[in-house]
Structure 1
Amino acid sequence: MENDIDTPRTAHTADLTEQELLAVRRLLDGAFPADEAYTEHDHEHALGGVHAMLWEGNELVAHGSVVMRRLLLEGRALRTGYVEAVAVRADRRRRGHGHAIMAALERVITGAYDIGALSASGMAGDFYASRGWLMWPGTVSVLTPRGIERAEDEEGGIYVLPAGVQPTIGGDLACDWRDGEPW
């Protein structure tokens, strides 16, 4: 599990060992404040894609994953690399680990998807904007089992990264349905 501090290891969920998956869960359980607690749904959302992980010896110090989703924009379903579960252990923050994780995920997004997207928690929006992510200026919605429903509480916190498609920025951006927090 050892890895160079500057180069995250990337691997699909299917290629992670049980020990690595447990280390990911432990890191994420401890990384978020109580009002933004990491839930079972959050963990499920982070699985099934590519993980970027930074290890110090046998200790996981930073993680992020990108999973495939569909976002609807202007009547088109965009193949989206959706960023999940980005966290750096509290005692290792402000050392470039978050940037290294995002660089690895952005490489996956730009190489395999139409667009990247994420929902920024807390004050993380400035971090993503500094990396070239654009705050979505339009409305956001969710394609629910009842139809498309606006998600006003998410507006101002959704960021996109143009990749294979240069979308018109604005209008309504809708995500596919999933249990827990759709965005």
Structure 2
Amino acid sequence: MVDSCFRCGAELGAPPALCASCGAVQPFRADLSLYAVAGLPETYDLDVQTLRTQVLALQKGLHPDRFANAEPAARRYSLEWSTRLNEALAILRDPLRRADYLLQRQGVDALGEQVKVADPELLMTQMIYRERLEDLVAARDLSGMEALRQEVDTAATGVVQRLRRLLGVLPCVEPEAAGAALRELQFLDKLLGEIDRREEHLQNA
């Protein structure tokens, strides 16, 4: 299906936000994925710099200030597109949120509150990491905390690589494995944040 401008009928590019022929901002389409909004192919292995460049260019052309004197509909359309572009950038640039979004797109809610997964290996990993962190904090061992942070960061990078493989073909054919990887990445991300906070607290104490 080829999108056409509601005003002049010209064929629209991707995303179908602005008409290159007459300059009209197009009605926002709620059915578009965040990838389509950003004008990018739907893939987990996404180049974040390309995403950022693409979204910033689109935001510049669709900024509500450019349509301040336009008719109310055009102002509304530009605001809707701009809001959705902000959402696309925030979600798709983050490996955790991007994976969650792609799984949600195929009906897999791996991080939902109703998901009760007893993963003994992950639970043991969580316990070991947290005990190590508490010991380092108690000893005020900043160099040890930095080493732990690097170790956790390396582990998170490994999980992202696993997600690249699992989500390399969409829809994902191993949703349970992808969900498990996503939960592991969520834990590691939270742990990195906790390490940074505890490290900062010790430095300022």
TM normalised by structure 2 equals 0.23
Q: Which has the higher contact order (CA 8 A, sep 6+)?
A: 1
TM normalised by structure 1 equals 0.25
Larger Rg belongs to = 2
Q: Determine which structure has the larger helix proportion and give its number.
A: 2
